[in-house]
Every structure is written in C-alpha cells, then in structure tokens.
C-alpha cells in the first residue's frame, strides 16, 4: 500500500493514497469525530450489548469484495460499533484511570500515523530529547538521562517495561556468577502489585513459586513494608536462593497505595537486587512539585516506568545492562552511525524491532499546552477527586477506606457488607449514567 | 487529559479537548499532511543530517512552559523534523519493505486514536471477526479461527508474536514432563531467520547456545532443509536434549527465501515440536490465490504470524495453550462475561494488558477498498519488481543472485566483488534520488 502513484487521476488504477480522496475523506472523518465528542455526554457511558453481538448480527463472515463509500462506513460505525463502546471520554466515566485524548495528542498521533517514520533519525532523536524533557520535569537524577549512564524511552506497554528490565536483571545475575541458574532466582512484590508483573515473570522464565508476594495491610495503608521485605530476602538467601528483582509501586491500581521507595531501595540494594519503580498511574502527577516527594529515593533505583498520555515511559539508570540483554545485530540492519556507537539504537532496548513515532505525540502535547497547563490539568483532576471525597467523609453512610493520594477515591457503603456494595455498584452502572469500578482491599467484612 | 469540560467557552480553564479548537486544528493538520504527500517526490528520500542534529541545534533541554500556536509547531516540523526523516512513502524508496499508509488506513488510525476504546466489547469483537476474515482470505484451516480450537489476534510486533508462542511452547513442554527443565530445551531456525528470533529466545530464557541455526545455501535457494533439520533434531535427542520450537519463514528478510513449510512440519511434529511460521513479509501476498501455495502445509503448524498493513497478525491452532501460559486474573479486572468464558479476553494472548483498536484500521481498509483492490495492489507491487528484474536479467553487467519470489529483487554488479558493490550502493543512496538496502547471501566473492 501507499506508494504515491504518479499516474493521472483519470487512470483506472487503484490508488490507495489519491490526494484528492485523502483530503476530502480525512476532513470528513475529522467532522465525524468532532460530532461524536459533541454528543458524548448524551450517550450511555457503558455498552449495552450481549457478548457476541457484533458477530451474531452485523458482520458477514467474509470480507467485502468491493469498496464501500465512506459515508456508509461511518454510519456503520455509528450503528454497529458505537453501541459496543465504553465511552472513556464521557464526563460520566469514573472507572479505571482517566482518558488521555486531547487535541494535541490527537494531532500528534495523526501526524505520526500519516508517515512511515521507521528508520528516521528524527524519530529516535526526538524521543531521546522528549524523555530527557520529561526526566527534567520529574526531577530525575542525571543518571537517568542520556547525559548520564542511562536514558529513557517509550515502550509498548508497562508490561513490556517490566519484562525488559526483568530480563536485564536476570542476565546480569546469571553472568555475575556461574553458580546462579534461573531456578534459583527470586523476585519480590507486594500483594498490591499489578498482575502484569506475574505475567512478565512467566514470560522471562521465573516460576510463579519464585515470586514472593509480601502481604500489606491497612496498617501501612497497603504499602510494602521494608522490614517484611528484609526478612523475606534474608530467608531466601539463607535457603540458598538469589534475590533478583523488586518491583515497587507508586500509586497501585487497586487503591493508589504508595510504596516507600527509598526505604525499600536500602533493603534491596544490600542484596544486589534490581529495583524497579512502577509509577504507571501516579508518576505523571509527579510533574507537579507538590507530588514529587513520592519519587524520593528514585536515585537509588535501577529503573522507573510510568504512563504519560498513553505513552509508556521507561528510564533506566544504566543503559548498558539493558542493551547487553536485548541487542541483536544482523547484517541487513547494520549502518554506520549505529556501529560507531554514536547514536541511540532503541531496537536494543525493547522486545520488538520496529517502533512507532509516539514521541511526536508527546512533543505536540508539550508544545501546544506548555508545562504550566499540563501541571494545572493534573491539579484540576486531583481537585475533582478531593471535591468528591469531602462530602463523603462528612456522611456517615459512606466510608473512604484508604487515603486518597491522587485522583482515586476508594469508598463503600458503611456496615452493609460486600454483597450489598457489589449490588449497588451494579445498579448504578446499569443506569448508563455513570461508570465506576470496584476493587477489594484488605479483609472484606 | 481529555475529560470533556462543560464550562463555557469564555472560561479561562485549560480545556485540552475544546470542540472548536479540535475542529479547526484537526482540519489544519489534515491539510498539512496532504501537502506533505503532494511534495514528497521532490524531497531527498534519505535524511541528510548528522547524528545528534536535533539535540545539538534545535531543541532546548527542557520543555516549554507556555503554549506554542499550532502554525509555529507545524513549521518546526517542516524545518526541524522533516530533514531527519526517511521518506518511506516516496516513490523513490526501494528499501526494506513497502510503506503501508493508505487513506483508509489513515482514517482507521485517526478514528481509533480519537477515542479510548479500552475495555470496549466492540473492539474485541471486531478484532476477532477481522482475524477470521483474514483467515478466510488466506484460506487458513478452520482450526485457526474462532469457530475451531484457535483464533487470531493483533500483536504489537512480530517479535511479540514469536515470544508469546515460544513461551506457550516452553510451558507446554515443561508441564508435560517433570524431567524437562528450561536448560534442556532446544529451538531451531535457519541462518536466514530474522534476528528478532534470537531476542525472543533470550527474553524467554532460552540460552543462545540452545538455538540451533541450520545453514542454508544457494542449492536450496536459502530455504531450510527438512533433511538437515531432521539430523539436528535426532542428534539433540540423542544428547538428552528436548526439541522445543521451530521457526520457519515464508519470505525471509534477507532474500525472501521460502522454507518448505509442509516438509518441515513432518520432521518437527515427530518430536512434538511447536512449529511457527513467520510470514511477516510474504504472508500478505498469500491473499492472492496464485501465491497461496507458499503456505501449503500450514494446517500442520501451531501458529502463523504475518504483517498486514502495519498490523502484526498472529493465529494459533490451539488458543488454550497460549492462554494457559499468559493468563493472569486479579480482582479489579474481573467481570462476568470473561469469567463465564463466553468472550475472548485478548489480554491473555499477549505480553501487555491494554491494547489498541488496530482492528478498526484493518476493517476500514477492507471496507473502503474491498478484497478485489487489495489483491490487485499486491499484484501491482509484485509486477513492478518483475518489471525491474526483466532488463536486469538480460544485462550481463548485473546478476540477480536469488530467485525473485515476491516484490524483492536481490542483485549485484557481476564480477567486481563485495567492496565495489557496497561503494556503488553508497554512492547511489547518497544522491538522495533513490534508496535501496543491502544484504549478504551465501559466501561473498
């Protein structure tokens, strides 16, 4: 697809990038999207379809042989796709985490998907610059930037960030001593750590029985205790095992708990453990000085990941450990600048080989809005949560069950038990006028 | 970002999704992109910048505090980003593989990035339908579809497809027998297999010394020989090792060689080996009946991956083996349809948890163009390669060194040696009027 044909417009040849078509149809799609945004508040926030609805009634089992006009396609989206959508952009959506669509983000995505940026130095260089920008906003120590021993880049998902650093840690441990084999390696998380960690372990060949899940409780506000971690690590060493990797979390998915990064690092580093901070949810808030404290101690970490505007950012303290674990070097990919070591070659930092130009989206957002507005947007989101929390704390029917750290308020109906709370949530969500999600923290009563 | 504010337009609040802004700016970006397409042939196809150009001269070390108007941003893209771009869409670009941008693909991408489709049944259902559509076009056996034991889905990259199936194979082997440990597992490729395979092995904990790279030669047109594979597997079994996984390729990156899929499967299945076909490059051509023969034998494969219009498709024969290796199941992700097993839950098929709505792009392309045009586009691309190959075969100065199977012509200047060929290629590429890539096949002379 996509080679620009130079034949005349009257040619019967199929031209998938005819310029007149492109212009007309892309403008039409922009209006369709804007109209959707304008209508979003009036739509039920949750889909009201049965599983299998699309296959059962709406789509034929084989693809169409002939072209369909764009107008018909857009109306199929409206009638067939939209009813099966969760409208994250709706002002009535209060589940999971906030949507991250913005005009600037949309334009950045549009520009990046309209070209093939693969193998373009501009893409790599912009990404390394933007990651340094973001590092400076987050006040990360110099080691995490390209002027230090590390650097940042954009992964496909948080899971991939954890997987790649876990593999780097594993290779480092196995290379260090010939007596270390994969079956001896032990990794550490709290019972609040995101489930994606267990998957990354499986993929990297670490058995589920070698994951130490350390319990948390309301006493520590569901944060991982350095003391418990220390005891567990010592027990494992005494049993002849090798502590490998600790995944601490700043802003857990379940309750936004914040692990004490500095204290954990002290314990872990006594055992030569790779320490990763997963700040997928709360890391972006740390661009505001008043939230930056939650990353204190990050200078003693090996890696840090967070999600910013749908981009999954990873910084490492020592880029060489990542590169030596993930580099490959075949003939058809050789080129002079990479061979000379003068440029960053991100293919050696990740699972895949190709990559998208996501940095353009981040750059557009920084440019179009400026740091000032990005900070005020975080503050406004957190302010909304505070506004919701206030009356709830004053109302005896409700209980806010964990501290509100950022934009998440965890509450339930006091004294009626888990079953009633679940049923109320289901009823509320069924109205289509609001969507909230549930979790379980600590012992249910 | 992105919650739609309902305050009045005169409010001083920062609104990243103001509807008027969105409409005006998105239309402006569409025109910018169309103008770029119109100018592309006049641009040098390769970038002419030194490594570090962007950081050295053009961008400040910290992000801007205040907003920049869109017009200035677009002119920065023109003056700063464009010079560092490889223009894949240029008609003068003949390197790697063809660009896959089309109007329909662009619109699909635009629609999918303008919403947050996460957790929407429409996204999952459309993806499973489209993968069945594509399976029917490729005449894949029923086992690879959702009406059989398998199914298809979109991975982030080919590397991820290989990694996930490798992990599924590893888990299957280890579960089958308590005497099987990861250090005994051996995997098989040819010396033409993509380098990404070695990386997937590293990540999955398979040591480089357990990758058997079977040599190919001009005698087999650089295809993997079933006889050599058989001998190697038998030798490994005799040594107490466990053959695990074979990665066959249809259309190698270096020379488009086609491994004999059926013959390899016969050998591999004698040893209970997982057989994967990587058809990243050539698989899409198989939507034309005249190329489908290269997938003959696919019914005996465990998995098949290919790249279609920038989407990385993976089909598996037995979805349960993949899911049991990759599933995770925490409380906050529980929901009724998934628990009842009545729906596909793609998070259990891949490395990450979240996913993009890439299926919308494929659907838009199928709808807007129809299979007829998609087939004719493949034929036209292959026809162009044939048109280039003809005169070259008739000219004694050149030699076409391997058969042309699809859209790749591998040639060199006859009798002047590798050094001269490399220099000529560099000179040609330096003109900026064309861009071609090199490889090394067999012994250089």
Least CB–CB distance from A40: residue in B4, B21, B183: B4
Instruction: Give residue B58's pLDDT band: very low, low, confident or very high (50, 70, 90).
Output: low
Among A24, A114, A333, A438, the residue to mutate for chain B (most B Cβ within 10 A): A114
Q: Does B388 touch chain A (CB under 8 A)?
A: no
Residue B272, SS3 per DSSP: coil
Cβ neighbour number for residue A63 with a 10 Å cutoff? 23
Q: Compare all CA atoms of chain A with the CA of B161 and give the residue at the minimum distance.
A: A352
Query: Would the pLDDT of B109 be above 50?
Result: yes
Instruction: Give residue B331's pLDDT band: very low, low, confident or very high (50, 70, 90).
Output: low
Mean pLDDT of chain B: 90
**H, E, C per residue of chain A:** CCCCCCCCCCCCCCCCCCHHHHHHHHHHHHHHHHHHHHHHHHCCCCCCCCCCHHHHHHCCCCCCCCCCCHHHHHHHHHHHHHHHCCCCCCCCECCCCCCCCCHHHHHHHHHHHHCCCCCCHHHHHHHHHHHHHHHHHCCCCHHHCCCCCCEEEEECCHHHHHHHHHHHHHHHHHHHCCCCCHHHEEEEEECCCCCHHHHHHHHHCCCHHHEEEECCCHHHCCCCCHHHHHHHHHHHHHCCCEEEEEEEEECCCCCCCECCHHHHHHHHHHCCCEEEEECCCCHHHHHCHHHHHHHCCHHHCCEEEEEECCEEEEEECCHHHHHHHHCCCCHHHCCHHHHCCCCCCHHHHCCCCCCCCHHHHHHHHHHHHHHHHHHHHHHHHHHHHHHHHHHHHCCCCEEECCCCCCCCCCEEECCCHHHHHHHHHHHHHHCCCCECCCCCCCCCC
Going by their DSSP bridges, the two strands A311-316 and A303-308 should be labelled as antiparallel
Q: Does B37 touch chain A (CB under 8 A)?
A: yes
Query: Would the pLDDT of B366 be above 80?
Result: yes
Instruction: Give residue A11's pLDDT band: very low, low, confident or very high (50, 70, 90).
Output: very low
Helices A19-39/B103-114 angle, 10° precision: 20
Query: Would the pLDDT of A12 be above 70?
Result: no
Q: Structure tokens of B129?
A: 């339908």
Query: Which strands form B311-316's sheet, in the order they lie side by side?
Result: B151-155, B311-316, B303-308, B274-278, B242-249, B185-190, B211-214
What is the Cα–Cα distance from A258 to A175, expressed in whole angstroms?
Answer: 33
A338-365 per-position pLDDT tens digit: 554 556 788 888 888 777 788 999 999 9
Q: Are A391 and A409 in contact (CB under 8 A)?
A: no
Q: Does A30 touch chain B (CB under 8 A)?
A: yes
Residue B3, SS3 per DSSP: coil
Could you report the predicted ipTM of this complex, rounded to two decimals?
A: 0.90
A222-237 per-position pLDDT tens digit: 999 999 999 999 999 9
Q: Tell me what pLDDT residue B443 has.
A: 67
Query: Would the pLDDT of A333 be above 60?
Result: no
Cα distances from A258 to residues A224, A252, A407, in angstroms, run 8, 7, 13
For residues A73-77, give the mean pLDDT: 94
For residues B182-211, give the mean pLDDT: 95
Quickly list H helices, B46-190: 53, 70-76, 103-114, 121-137, 158-176
Chains A and B form CB pairs within 8 A to the count of 491
Query: Would the pLDDT of B10 be above 70?
Result: no
Q: Tell me what pLDDT residue B1 has.
A: 44
Q: Tell me what pLDDT residue A417 has.
A: 93
Residue B45, SS3 per DSSP: coil
Distance from CA of B193 to the nearest CA of A (A): 10
What is the Cα–Cα distance from A334 to A329, expressed in whole angstroms?
Answer: 7
Query: Which of A117, A149, A161, A144 lies closest to A326 in space, CA to CA?
Result: A161
Residues in chain A: 445
Instruction: Give residue A33's pLDDT band: very low, low, confident or very high (50, 70, 90).
Output: very high
Q: Tell me what pLDDT residue B14 has.
A: 87
For residues A310-330, give the mean pLDDT: 88
Query: Would the pLDDT of B295 be above 90?
Result: yes
More confident residue, B358 or B214: B214
Query: Would the pLDDT of B401 be above 50?
Result: yes
Query: Would the pLDDT of B134 be above 80?
Result: yes
Cβ neighbour number for residue A298 with a 10 Å cutoff? 28
Q: Does A136 touch chain B (CB under 8 A)?
A: yes
Cβ neighbour number for residue A442 with a 10 Å cutoff? 15
Q: Tell me what pLDDT residue B9 has.
A: 40
A363-407 per-position pLDDT tens digit: 999 999 999 999 999 999 999 999 999 999 999 999 999 999 999
Lowest mean pLDDT, pick from A42-51, B179-188, B237-246, B392-401: A42-51
Cα distances from B334 to residues B59, B254, B341, in angstroms, run 45, 45, 12
Q: Tell me what pLDDT residue B417 has.
A: 93
Query: Would the pLDDT of A445 be above 90?
Result: no
Q: Does B178 touch chain A (CB under 8 A)?
A: no
For chain A, what percent of residues have pLDDT higher than 90? 71
Answer whether A103 sits within 8 Å of B3, measured CB to CB. no
DSSP conformation letters of B302-364: SEEEEEETTEEEEEES-HHHHHHHH----GGG--HHHHTT-S--GGGGSSSS----HHHHHHH
Question: B321 φ, ψ to 5°?
Answer: -70, -35
Q: Are A261 and A232 in contact (CB under 8 A)?
A: no
Lowest mean pLDDT, pick from A302-316, A330-344, B36-50, B54-68: A330-344
A92-119 per-position pLDDT tens digit: 999 888 777 899 999 998 998 877 666 7
Q: Structure tokens of A387?
A: 């506004």
Residue B250, SS3 per DSSP: strand
Q: Tell me what pLDDT residue B445 has.
A: 43
Cα distances from B162 to residues B184, B257, B303, B350, in angstroms, run 20, 19, 9, 11
Among A79, A127, A351, A437, the residue to mutate for chain B (most B Cβ within 10 A): A351
Q: Tell me what pLDDT residue A343 has.
A: 64
Q: Does A443 touch chain B (CB under 8 A)?
A: no
In degrees, rounded to 5, the angle at the alpha carbon of residue A93 between the alpha carbons of residues A88 and A97 is 70
Query: Would the pLDDT of B187 be above 60?
Result: yes
A248-293 per-position pLDDT tens digit: 999 999 999 999 999 999 999 899 999 999 999 999 999 999 999 9
Q: Structure tokens of A367?
A: 């440019």
Instruction: Give residue B185's pLDDT band: very low, low, confident or very high (50, 70, 90).
Output: very high
């Amino acid at each position: 697809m996509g080679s620009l044909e130079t034949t005349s417009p009257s040619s019967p040849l199929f031209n998938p990038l005819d310029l007149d078509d492109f212009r007309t149809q892309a403008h039409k799609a922009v209006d369709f999207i804007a109209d959707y945004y304008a209508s979003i508040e009036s739509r039920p926030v949750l889909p009201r379809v049965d599983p299998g609805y699309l296959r059962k009634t709406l789509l034929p089992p084989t693809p169409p042989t002939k072209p369909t006009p764009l107008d018909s396609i857009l109306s199929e989206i409206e009638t067939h796709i939209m009813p099966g959508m969760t409208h994250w952009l709706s002002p009535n959506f209060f589940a999971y985490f906030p949507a991250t669509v913005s005009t600037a983000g949309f334009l950045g995505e549009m520009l990046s998907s309209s070209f093939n940026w693969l193998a373009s130095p501009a893409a790599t260089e912009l990404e390394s610059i933007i990651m340094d920008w973001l590092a400076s906003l987050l006040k990360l120590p110099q080691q995490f930037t390209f002027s230090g021993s590390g650097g940042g880049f954009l992964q496909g998902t948080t899971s991939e960030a954890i997987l790649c650093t876990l593999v780097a840690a594993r290779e480092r441990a196995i290379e260090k001593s010939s007596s270390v084999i994969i079956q001896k390696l032990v990794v550490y998380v709290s019972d609040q750590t995101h489930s994606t960690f267990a998957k990354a372990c499986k993929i990297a060949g670490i058995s589920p029985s070698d994951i130490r899940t350390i319990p948390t409780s309301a006493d520590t506000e569901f944060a991982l205790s350095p003391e418990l971690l220390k005891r567990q690590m010592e027990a494992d060493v005494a049993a002849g095992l090798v502590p490998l990797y600790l995944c601490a979390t700043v802003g857990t998915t379940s309750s936004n708990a914040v692990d004490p990064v500095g204290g954990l690092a002290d314990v872990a580093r006594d055992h030569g453990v790779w320490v990763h901070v997963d700040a997928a949810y709360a890391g972006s808030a740390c661009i505001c000085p008043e939230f930056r404290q939650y990353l204190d101690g990050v200078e003693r970490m090996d890696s840090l990941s967070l999600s910013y505007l749908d981009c999954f950012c990873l910084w490492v303290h020592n880029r060489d450990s990542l590169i030596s674990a993930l580099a490959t070097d075949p003939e058809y990919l050789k080129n002079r600048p990479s061979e000379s070591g003068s440029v960053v070659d991100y293919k050696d930092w990740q699972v895949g080989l190709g990559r998208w130009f996501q940095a353009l989206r981040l750059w557009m957002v920084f440019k179009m809005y400026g740091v000032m507005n990005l900070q005020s947007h975080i503050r406004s989101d957190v302010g909304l949560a505070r506004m919701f929390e206030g009356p709830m704390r004053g109302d005896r029917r409700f209980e806010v069950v964990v501290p509100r750290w950022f934009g998440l308020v965890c509450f339930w109906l006091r004294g009626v038990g888990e079953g009633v709370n679940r049923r109320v949530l289901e009823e509320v969500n069924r109205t289509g006028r609001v969507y909230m999600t549930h979790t379980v923290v600590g012992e249910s009563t």
